[in-house]
Amino acid sequence: MSTTAYIMIETSVGKVNDVATTLRSTPGVTTVDIVIGPYDIIATVSAADMNAVSEVLANHVHKVKGVARTLTCISLNRG
């Protein structure tokens, strides 16, 4: 069973499209939606377990130039 996480992302001013483009080619990121509200992007990460989700966040998402802040919500759905 895999773990799904929803990552709400606030970007630096003018960087939303660049961040979204980069995230769309990031391993483990399955969807990227540009949204209106307190966050600029909601990305979905699917990984084997919580540790793998953490690896995607630390090694990929947080290193994208223009990512200012994130909030991660883990899905509790158990298929």
At residue 58 the predicted structure's pLDDT band, cuts being 50, 70 and 90, is very high
Range of the domain at 21: 3-74
> What pLDDT is recorded for position 79?
53
Q: Evaluate whether residue 53 is within a structural domain.
A: yes
At 5-31, the pLDDT tens digits run 999 999 999 999 999 999 999 999 999
Mean pLDDT of 49-73: 96
What's the pTM value of the predicted model, to 2 decimals?
0.92
Query: What is the total count of domains within the chain?
Result: 1
Q: How many CB atoms lie within 10 A of CB 44?
A: 15
Q: Evaluate whether residue 79 is within a structural domain.
A: no
Q: Which residues of 68-77 are buried (b: 16+ CB within 10 A; e: fewer)?
A: eeeeeeeeee
CATH number at residue 49: 3.30.70.920
pLDDT(77) > 90 = no
pLDDT(50) > 60 = yes
